[in-house]
């Protein structure tokens, strides 16, 4: 198994116990790993759909926040349009407001799926 593949396993294991996103440099520090190597492993994990990286700036330093994918979805849930919709209580199948035909919900799903590409 390659060095990067081994590191992918270590990262995946570490992230299982995480309740919040972690900056990439912090993850490298905690795992005592070179920043270039961790960057390669994280890119591979993102491609496999195991994590999501989001660009951020911390104390003037550009970095990525690393989210296990399940945590990333949770972080996006407050943006679901239904939470702010005046039709939420009457929305449902066979109602005038049907989620399967809702343009607002459809647009939101398209946006989130683009982020995951």
List contacts with ligand SF4 (CB under 6 A): 81-82, 85, 87-88, 91, 97, 99, 102, 104-105
- Residue closer to ligand SF4 (CB basis): 9 or 98: 98
Burial class for 64, CB neighbours closer than 10 Å (0-12, 13-18, 19+)? buried
Quote the least distance from Cβ 93 to ligand SF4, whole Å. 11
* Cβ atoms within 10 Å of 38's Cβ, excluding its own: 21
- Residue closer to ligand SF4 (CB basis): 23 or 81: 81
Quote the least distance from Cβ 87 to ligand SF4, whole Å. 4
Contact 52, 61 (CB under 8 A): no
Element (H or E) spanning 97, and its range? none
- Residue closer to ligand SF4 (CB basis): 35 or 84: 84
The DSSP output letter for 20 is: S
HSE-up of 62 (CA within 13 Å, CB side)? Answer: 1
- Residue closer to ligand SF4 (CB basis): 30 or 99: 99
Quote the least distance from Cβ 94 to ligand SF4, whole Å. 13
């Amino acid at each position: 198994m390659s060095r990067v593949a081994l590191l992918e396993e270590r990262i995946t294991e570490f992230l299982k116990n995480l309740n919040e996103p972690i900056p990439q440099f912090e993850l490298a520090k905690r795992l005592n790993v070179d920043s270039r190597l961790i960057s390669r492993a994280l890119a591979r994990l993102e491609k496999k759909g195991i994590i999501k990286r989001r660009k951020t700036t911390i104390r003037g330093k550009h970095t990525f926040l690393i989210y296990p994918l399940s945590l990333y979805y949770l972080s996006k849930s407050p943006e679901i349009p239904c939470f702010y919709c005046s039709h939420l209580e009457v929305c449902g199948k066979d109602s005038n407001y049907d989620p399967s035909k809702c343009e607002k919900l459809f647009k939101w799903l398209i946006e989130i799926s683009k982020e995951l590409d």
